[in-house]
Amino acid sequence: MHPAKAFLQASLGLGSFLRPPVVEAQARSRPAAPAPVMVPIRTIGPRERGRIGRHLLALTPHDRYLRFGYAASDEQVQRYVDGLDFERDELFGIYNRRLDLIAMAHVAFAPAGQPRECAEFGVSVAEHARGRGYGARLFERAVVAARNEGVGMLFIHALSENAAMLKIARKAGASVVRSGSESEAHLELPSPTLDSRLNEIALEHYAEVDYQLKSRAKQFWSFLATVQEVRSGMRAAREKSAP
């Protein structure tokens, strides 16, 4: 068991809000579906702006086209990153063991002074991290956050050729309307409950513990590499000075 997951279960217990919904099988002969993998998804703050920029700038031109709806240049991507409002919106990320941001989601709420009944979802996944369901997991995390903020409708604006994004939306039960080269999906969200709020607290805690463990491991291996480098230098110096 992953150490972060074990810590989470030990500290919070196995309440219903930690378990994926279970649908009773209609046919006993049908094999049980595998339980969804729990992916640590951490809230991204303003200190992560640099990581966000590196993640988005590393996307291929086609991936940028699908993410933003147009062929975004480096300057346009950087303007998007610089303009992120971390106080108004919610951003979530998935990190690898080197703490590189390999997938991220942006939940954009209405500007100040306007009703926060609707929000928009956008997602991007690094090319080497595709096929692991990260987009769907980020969408599920976004739904939890938007619901607990009182949002009743979550929108996705995507190009009609963005089959992966539209598949995520349809699988979640969203209604998808196509209009030429663009499509719009909307998912109605229920009102927040105690269970949904506990669920968000548990998910955030799990992700933070996982991030701290990865951070400490990275620091340890960096320290170990430095020690080995010093030892190698000392060994080379001794061999050079030996008669």
What residue spans of 18-161 are helical by DSSP H? 49-57, 61-68, 74-82, 134-148
107: three-class secondary structure by DSSP: strand
What span, in angstroms and rounded, lies between the C-alpha atoms of 32 and 94? Answer: 28
Q: Would you tell me the crossing angle of helices 134-148 and 163-171 to the nearest 10 degrees?
A: 50
Question: What is the percent of the chain where pLDDT is above 90?
Answer: 53
Hey, what CATH topology would domain 38-231 get?
Aminopeptidase (3.40.630)
What span, in angstroms and rounded, lies between the C-alpha atoms of 138 and 132? Answer: 11
pLDDT of 18 over the 50 cut? no
233: three-class secondary structure by DSSP: helix
DSSP category for residue 130: T
pLDDT of 146 over the 60 cut? yes
Determine the pLDDT at residue 8: 43
User: What average pLDDT does this structure show over 16-41?
Assistant: 50
pLDDT of 22 over the 60 cut? no
Neighbours of 96 (CB within 10 A): 13
What span, in angstroms and rounded, lies between the C-alpha atoms of 124 and 135? Answer: 7
Q: How confident is the model at residue 101 (pLDDT cuts 50, 70, 90)?
A: very high
What number of H helices and E strands is found in the chain? 7, 7
User: What average pLDDT does this structure show over 45-72?
Assistant: 94
pLDDT of 179 over the 50 cut? yes
Task: State pTM to two decimals.
Answer: 0.73
pLDDT of 72 over the 60 cut? yes
Closest CA to 43 of 97, 87, 80, 77: 87
As given in the structure block, the two tokens for residue 40 are: 């640590």
Could you identify the residue written with the tokens 């400490």?
A: 216
Contact 100, 93 (CB under 8 A): no
As given in the structure block, the two tokens for residue 139 are: 């969408």
Could you identify the residue written with the tokens 């990260």?
A: 134
Determine the pLDDT at residue 67: 92
Determine the pLDDT at residue 138: 95
> Residue 121: phi, psi to the nearest 5?
-115, 135
Range from 32-36, 50-54, 113-117, 152-156 carrying the lowest mean pLDDT:
32-36
pLDDT of 190 over the 70 cut? yes
* Arithmetic mean of pLDDT over the chain: 81
Determine the pLDDT at residue 36: 57
Domain edges within the chain: 38-231
What span, in angstroms and rounded, lies between the C-alpha atoms of 223 and 214? Answer: 14
